[in-house]
Amino acid sequence: MMRKALTIAGSDSGGGAGIQADLKTFQELEVFGMSALTAVTAQNTLGVHGVYPMTPEAVISQIQAIGDDMGTDAIKTGMLFNAEIIEAVAGQIKKYKWETIVVDPVMIAKGGASLLQNEAISALKKFLLPHALVITPNIPEAEVLTGMTIHTAHEKQEAAKKLFELGVKNIIIKGGHDEDPAESTDLLFDGSEFYTFTSRRMNTKNTHGTGCTFSAAITAELAKGVNIYDAVVTGKGFIQAAIEDQIDIGHGHGPTNHSAYRKRNMVKEHAGR
**Contact by Cβ (8 Å): 205, 187:** no
Strand partners, 6: 34, 75
Catalytic residue among 14, 78, 211, 254: 211
Known active-site residue 38: no
Known active-site residue 149: no
The radius of gyration of the chain from alpha carbons, rounded to an integer in Å, stands at 17
Known active-site residue 210: yes
Catalytic residue among 4, 125, 156, 174: 174
**Contact by Cβ (8 Å): 142, 163:** yes
CA dihedral sign, ordered 241, 169, 68, 1: positive
Catalytic residue among 14, 18, 209, 254: 209
- The CA distance from 165 to 49, in Å, is 36
Residue 227 DSSP class: -
Catalytic residue among 45, 207, 213, 219: 207
Catalytic residue among 14, 78, 146, 212: 212
Angle at 189 between CA 186 and CA 191, to 5 degrees: 175
Catalytic residue among 7, 45, 146, 210: 210
Known active-site residue 254: no
Known active-site residue 175: no
H helix or E strand, kind and range, residue 266: helix 260-271
Catalytic residues: 174, 207, 209-212
